[in-house]
Amino acid sequence: MENNWKNKIDGLLLRREKVEEAGGKERVEKQHQKGKLTARERMEALFDDGTFVEINDMITSRATDFGMDKKKRPSDGVVTGYGKIFGRVAFASSQDFTVGGGSLGEAHAMKICRAMDMALDMKAPFISINDSGGARIEEGIDSLSGYADIFYRNTISSGVIPQISVILGPCAGGACYSPAICDYIFMTRQNSQMYITGPAVVKSVTGEEISAANLGGAQVHSSTSGVAHFVYEDDLSCLNGVRRLLSYLPQNNEDYSMVVPTTEVDRCDTLTDIVPADSKQAYDVRDVISTFADENSFMEIQPDFAKNIVVGFARISGKTVGIVANQSAFMAGSLEINASDKGARFIRFCDCFNIPILTLVDVPAFLPGSQQEHGGIIRHGAKMLFAYSEATVPKVSVIMRKAYGGAYIAMNSKGLGADVVYAWPVAEIAVMGAAGAVAIIGKRAIDAAEDPISKRQELIDEYNEKFMNPYVAAEHGYVDEVILPSETRERIVAAFDMLEAKEKTLPYKKHSNIPL
């Protein structure tokens, strides 16, 4: 009996050793030479020290065609499991490029789906780490069905638990659509690639020579396509970025974000130095955020895409707030197609997960021009209106300077359900700027004047005096209070404290039909 125990224990340890050696020392070394961690090293970096527990570690492919018997290895090219991140449970999958290039087959997909099901059952975040050459061709339709199973679970879990995709190698073909359904995508500058059709296919169809990085690298997806939300230099810094993001988020849609003690700051007395009173002069709205957000707490999302709008998470008195702000330093902060998509998606995420929204308004217009009109600015701009209107979380706005026309409405105006709206004394809330308004409503008077130039200036001055200020809006109830810039943090804190117990129920519906 004693020997039998020894044999069984030795057998188990041998099997574990086979699992842990992954694709073998040579392939692991190649992974390291590329600056990449192995699948298990990534899991250890993601979770709190000593908390990662692997599940289904010995699952092996059942495929036998095309010499698959010789290629099989325990764990089938993906590591799955759970652990804790800042003391809270999370689930994850990590593809192992050292085993068959991390290709996805039936058993591989089954492991990921089991982890996703557990995450949904436990109402905990799910993180998928992607490093795969794509579908396992030897397994044919079973591989494609595996992707479908994953996409289905991504969709069912959407808005229930946070889902984060981390691209730490290739993510090609249909595999891209799982990250696309997730809430946030992380990439590394050197090794990440995402594309539906690879460079060889592009060349065969168009004759164009293009590298994988130029086709679907981090630079492209963070600045041009808008697919990626965060970019880091290497695996370790990227996984630390995932951990940081999760610190702002609740576990699920019935939970609330952690309160994290941080250094509170109130530098709002510097706002008049940061923001010029002249609405034609630019400034960086991130400098505004730094005056009232807890120190070093602002985590910007998609900083290189649609730079005319800034979105991200910050803490105010230790509590997570989602911030949406026009960026005066880029395109004067106007709203266009990409900014509308970026803003609307972020607003809806905050609403899904009970995160209050602070909107900083300094917007001249929806960007005019035939390119925007033909590209569907009406459809895309409507997403902003829809997202704010549908959101039931606490919503506070600060109108800093310009708030013109339809763009004013779209930036969480009172009519779209803003709970509290503040305005600074230099705020200009109107249908359009004075010069444009006078050109329309004062045309006859200007044409009939002996001195048209003087008359035009007279009408502009009159329009500025009557309409280009926050007081008309305040008198009509569209602004709750006109405040000094130095009072901004104080008022924001008070408003969100007051709104903490807010409950609002929308009419019953199966789901809304946002203008996608």
Q: Which residues are catalytic?
A: 173-174, 406-407
**Residues 6+ away with beta carbon under 8 Å from 77:** 95, 96, 99, 100, 101, 102, 103, 104, 105, 108, 132
DSSP assignments along 152-205, one per residue: HHHHHHTTTS-EEEEEEEEEEGGGGHHHHHSSEEEEETTT-EEESS-HHHHHHH
Q: Which is nearest to 428 in space by CA: 439, 417, 419, 436?
A: 436
**Residues 6+ away with beta carbon under 8 Å from 229:** 184, 185, 186, 222, 301, 302
Q: Which is nearest to 213 in space by CA: 192, 229, 231?
A: 192
Residue that has been written with the tokens 């925007």 in this structure? 372
Secondary structure string (H, E, C) spanning 459-498: HHHHHHHHHCCCHHHHHCCCCCEECCHHHHHHHHHHHHHH
**Residues 6+ away with beta carbon under 8 Å from 447:** none
Q: How many CA atoms lie within 13 A of 384 on its CB side?
A: 29
Measured between alpha carbons, how far is 78 from 101 in angstroms, rounded to an integer? 10
| Structure tokens given for 33 | 């030479």
- What one-character DSSP code corresponds to residue 48? P
Measured between alpha carbons, how far is 38 from 460 in angstroms, rounded to an integer? 66
Measured between alpha carbons, how far is 351 from 354 in angstroms, rounded to an integer? 5
- What one-character DSSP code corresponds to residue 102? G
389 touches 416 (CB < 8 A): yes
Measured between alpha carbons, how far is 104 from 117 in angstroms, rounded to an integer? 18
- What one-character DSSP code corresponds to residue 506? P
* Long-range interactions of 176-179: CB distance < 8 A, separation 24+: 177/147, 177/151, 178/128, 178/130, 178/147, 178/150, 178/151, 178/154, 179/128, 179/130, 179/227
